[in-house]
Structure 1
Amino acid sequence: MARQSADERRDQLVEAAIRVMISDGVAKATTRAIVGEAGLPLGAFHYCFRSKRELLHSVIERIMLRSLAFAPAAAPEGADARDLIRSTLHAYWEGIRARPAEHLVTYELTQYAMREPGLADVARRQYQHYLQANIDHLTAVADLANIRWTVEIPVLARVGLSFLDGLTLNWLIDRDDAQALAALDTYADHLISVAAPGSVHGAAPVPGH
């Protein structure tokens, strides 16, 4: 068997951790359970991660990268700003619908991190990731649609995060696709209501950037 690199083993352990969390819950995702799921020796964990905290950060980043990042969808030629915003949000929502079990894990991760001594920074960084994804989304949409936001981007991003986070949890509970999409379109209308013609480059800067 070919020798695996540290990156390959890290990848195996992150995916194994996600599977264990989905099947057994975050609290039961012990180091031993994770390496067992990955088919690796216990020492592999400590070789790849300095702590369980570091692993949890990697789990959040992995779920973010494949499901939560906004990717501007291809809108029909001649589409206006609302169509562009709507198509992007719908593409994002398909990522949520494609991996419901993983998103359920993210809510459990938040609660677990906030209650577990020494892990509060995991929850903070988790929501910093989400907030930055919303900031990037708003900036990209404004560039593509040649609009500017009349609300400061960090504030508007926080509104979007609160809405999408609540909508996702609500959908995970009731799985009402029609109502979720209707709510998403209402949010698109709200974004249009705070958009004006012009370049995003004239918008308020993002703190810390």
Structure 2
Amino acid sequence: MTRRSADERREQLVEAAIRVMIRDGVARTTTRAVVSEAGLPLGAFHYCFRSKEELLHSVIERITLRSLAPATAPPAGEVSTRELIFRTLHAYWDQVRERPAEHMVTYELTQYALRQPGLAEVARRQYQHYLKVYSDHLEAIARLAGFRWTVPLPALARYGLSVMDGLTLNWLIDRDDVQAQAALDEYAEHLSTVAAPAPPEPHDAHDGAATRS
């Protein structure tokens, strides 16, 4: 039997946990069910994770990373600020539509954590993670297109997270693609109105002196 590294086993357990949560629900997901799904002995869980809480954080991070990966890819060729914003949001939305069950798990996980004694920190860290990822994402868009946001980034990130979080939940409930698309485009249009050309980079004083000499 091939001996797997700790990272490989951790990877297996995270993916197995997502499958079990989709199939059985977050509340019914036990460590035994996860290791059984992964085809690993129970001891592998305690070797890879210090607690179930740590596993839940890893599940959140994995689903978030999978959703945002296509959206953070650099665009092919030159595009306008507006076009980049639209492409980025639509790349994320495509992932929501392709993996609805995973996104349902994230909302279920939030409610489960808030109701379980000692697990409320999971929900708090979940949304702190989302906020950090979304803020980094907005910075990346601005850097790729060479513009700046005219709204303070912390406020813009929280606003954007609230919009996309609510839009995703609404779609998971009614699956109305037409209305979801219209709302997404409206948000993208708004974002393009709070983007402005970045100021030119200041020239190094030494370089300027060398140019004049």
Normalised to the residue count of structure 2, the TM-score between the two structures is: 0.88
Match of 2:147 in 1: 147
The answer to whether the Cα contact below 8 Å between 2:74 and 2:144 also exists between their aligned partners in 1 is no
Residue identity matched to 1:36: S
Secondary structure of the residue aligned to 1:74 is coil
The 5 Å alignment of 1:18-97 reads 18-69=18-69, 70-72=71-73, 74=75, 77=78, 79-97=79-97
Q: CA offset at residue 145 of structure 1?
A: 2.3
Distance 1:98 1:42 in 2: 32
Match of 1:206 in 2: none
| Code of the aligned partner of 2:148 | R
Query: How large is the Cα RMSD of the aligned pairs?
Result: 1.8
Equivalent residue letter for 1:56? L
Q: Could you tell which deviates more after superposition, 8-17 or 155-164?
A: 8-17
- Matched with 1:10 is 10
**What is the CA-CA distance between 1:199 and the residue it aligns to?**
4.4
Query: How many Å apart are 1:72 and its aligned residue?
Result: 4.5
Q: Structure 2: how far apart are the matches of 1:42 and 1:32?
A: 6
SS at match of 1:196: strand
Unaligned runs of 5+ in 1: 202-209
User: d(CA) in 2 for partners of 1:200 and 1:95?
Assistant: 35
CA deviation string 1:4-24 (max 9, x = no partner): 111111111111111110001
Residue identity in the other structure for 1:26: V
Partner of residue 188, structure 1:
188
Residues 141-173 of structure 1 deviation map (CA, whole Å, 9 limit, x = unaligned): 212222211110010000000000000011111
Deviation at 1:80, TM superposition (A): 2.0
**Cα 1:73–1:183 shift into 2, 3 Å:** farther
1:132 equivalenced with 2:129 (yes/no): no
Structure 2: which 5+ runs fail to align?
202-213
Q: Work out which of the two has the higher radius of gyration on C-alpha atoms and give 1 or 2.
A: 2
Shift of 1:73: 5.5
User: Any idea what the Cα deviations from partners look like across 1:153-208, whole Å, max 9, x if unmatched?
Assistant: 0100000000000000111111111211111110011112222222499xxxxxxx
Residue in 1 that maps onto 2:123 = 123
TM-score normalised according to structure 1 size:
0.89
Label 1:42 to 1:200 Cα distance change in 2 as closer, same or farther (>3 A). Answer: farther
Q: Which residue number corresponds to residue 166 of structure 2? A: 166
Which letter maps to 1:4?
A: R
Runs of 4+ residues over 2 Å off in structure 1: 72-77
Deviation at 1:84, TM superposition (A): 1.1
In the TM superposition, residue 126 of structure 1 has moved relative to its aligned partner by 1.0
Other structure's SS at 2:72 match: coil
